[in-house]
Chains A and B, each alone.
Chain A
Amino acid sequence: MSQVKKITTPLTDDVIQDLRAGDRVLLSGYIYTARDAAHKRMLEEYEKTGKLPFDIKGQVIYYVGPTPPKPGQVIGSAGPTTAYRMDKYTPKLLELGLKGTIGKGWRGIEVKEALKKYKAVYFAAYGGTAALLSKHIKSSEIIAYEDLGPEAIRKLYFEDFPVIVANDIYGGDVFTQGQKAYKKIEIDP
């Protein structure tokens, strides 16, 4: 593992080129949330109108559906959800200028190829550590699809939100690389 890199959104190609699978990153700046239902609606709307609910160029999407905030909280518990469920929609969003996604778990081959093609990264956050992660979120505002409740699109402000580069533009994959050293048995298909 390399040194921790501090990065602020929006992300540029220069920043992306410098990231390798396994790099630890502290992410700051505005981030947008979207999960299954919001992705489906965004892409359906884009098909019809040619527009997305926010300017996606250089932005990062966090796959999260937070719990409601208790009095005094900015946001409730807010850890990452499993990323592969968004794979169907991700290549199109990357083509439109999205530069990063945050989730947990593996991405499919189409997404990995799209990350290389459109110069973007997939970050993994520690799944299930939602009470801790929410402390790095300093503001939260619903900007679209309020009727989706926890799945509404929120604009969050991150301060040093801890992530690890899971898939980079060079084909690196933190999970495959990480597991190799500890795999003592192979289960054939």
Chain B
Amino acid sequence: MREIHVNEIVEKVKNMVMDAEYNLPEDFVKSLETAKAFEESPIGKEIIETILQNAQVASVEKVAYCQDTGYPVFFVEIGQEVHIVGGSIKDAINEGVRQATKEGYLRASLAFDPVFERKNTGDNTPALIYFDVVPGDKIKIKFAAKGGGSENQSKQTMLKPADGLEGVKKFVLKTIANAGPNACPPFTVGVGIGGTFDYSAVLAKKALFRPIGDRHPDPRVAMLEEELLSLANQLGVGPLGFGGTVTAVDVKIEVAPVHIASLPVAVNIQCHANRHNEIEI
């Protein structure tokens, strides 16, 4: 067994959270630079330029890219040959978030309960953590800061098998069009098709970690990703919804086996504050 101390996890989680809040991923920044040339509307071009400037300022001055520093979401893959020592991994991840919030001057954006007092938890904990056990002796941690504005425009539906591919396309495009200016485009769109009610949404969120421009290994899914991206950019939404030809920089789809009676589809809208990060310990 390989031993990993929780103190190492706390430190690395803290750093990965702060890094994500200040620095947009390189692949995403590059995609915005490309998108600027593709954008036909003058205001759309100007907005992409402003977004890139904002990314630059946040990175250089080490300040939050967006004031909504998001709901901390983690996907953790633990190698089955790892022995965690010194405490619980869940506590360690939350401690990393707590320290990042304080040292990184992040906004406290979580409330203890949804409909009673809605009192702020003060330190962005508890984080949402999905665990998976995998072969090997490493821990892989993926982090995303999920802003409320784009999360609020995300949707899930249970289609009928008869609705088929056309039904899926229509639901995805409608969700993107409705999200419009509320959810800060240019979007990255995560789509989960199949699984169960809940798993389709997890897939949609997981899909957002794939690099921009990367295509699904199944050529049928890859084609659907490209078709939906092209159609999304014909909706007219444009950067920040002011109208234009760049509504999304990519559409990522994940699929899973499904019940013979069901066709779950989930769309997770990611705003241009596309903050995510990955580490391996």
Residue of B177, B184, B234, B245 touching A127 (CB-CB under 8 A):
B184
Q: Does B122 contact A179, Cβ atoms closer than 8 Å?
A: no
Q: B51: CB under 8 A from chain A?
A: yes
Chain B, residues 257-281, CB within 8 Å of chain A (1/0): the string is 0000000000000011100000000
| Count of chain A residues with a beta carbon within 8 Å of a chain B beta carbon | 47
Report the Cα distance A73→B67, complex, angstroms.
14
A128 touches B180 (CB 8 A): no
Q: Which single member of B40, B50, B57, B181 contacts A124 (CB below 8 Å)?
A: B181
Convert B205-241 into 0s and 1s, putting 1 for each residue whose CB lies closer than 8 angstroms to a CB of A. Answer: 0000000000000000000000000010011111011
Asked if A130 contacts B181 (CB within 8 A), the reply is no
Residues of B within 8 A of A175 (CB): 180-181, 241-243
Give Cα A84 to B182, complex, Å. 8
Q: Does A171 contact B (CB under 8 A)?
A: no
How many B residues have CB within 8 A of the partner chain?
54
Residues of B within 8 A of A53 (CB): none
Chain A residues with CB under 8 Å of B155's CB are none
Q: A37-B118, A129-B50, A130-B54 are in contact. Are A187 and B177 (CB under 8 A)?
A: yes
CB distance B237 to A179 under 8 Å? yes
A1 touches B (CB below 8 Å): yes
B65 part of interface (Cβ distance < 8 Å): yes
CA distance A5 to B202 in the complex (A): 46
User: Is B174 engaged at the interface, CB distance under 8 Å to the other chain?
Assistant: yes
Which residues in B have their C-beta under 8 angstroms from that of A37?
118
Asked if A79 and B152 make an inter-chain contact with CB atoms under 8 angstroms apart, the answer reads no
If A76-B67, A104-B181, A179-B241 touch, whether A70 touches B105 (CB-CB below 8 Å) is yes
> Which chain B residues in 67-119 approach chain A with CB under 8 Å?
67-69, 105-109, 118
Contact of A105 with B by CB under 8 A:
yes
Which residue from B40, B120, B181 sits with its C-beta under 8 Å from A150? B120
Question: Given A68-B105, A126-B240, A175-B243, A76–B64 Cβ distance below 8 Å?
Answer: yes
Query: For the complex, is A48 an interface residue (Cβ under 8 Å from B)?
Result: no
Asked if A106 meets B109 with Cβ closer than 8 Å, knowing A37-B118, A127-B149, A187-B174, the reply is no
The reply to whether B53 and A132 contact each other, CB–CB distance below 8 Å, is: yes
A130 touches B64 (CB 8 A): yes
- A178 lies within 8 A of B43 (CB): yes
B41, B53, B54, B235: the one within 8 Å of A187 (CB): B235
Known: A105-B181, A175-B241, A187-B174. A129 touches B51 (CB 8 A): yes
Q: List the B residue with the shortest CB-CB distance to A125.
A: B240
Question: B65 contacts A128, CB within 8 Å?
Answer: yes
In the complex formed, the residue of B with least CB distance to A129 is B54
Contact status A187-B122, CB under 8 Å = no
B64 CB contacts on chain A under 8 angstroms:
67, 76-77, 130-131
Inside 8 A of A70's CB, which chain B residues have their CB? 63, 105
Name A's B-contacting residues (CB within 8 A). 1, 37, 64-70, 73, 76-79, 81-82, 84, 104-106, 124, 126-132, 134, 148-151, 164, 174-175, 177-185, 187, 189
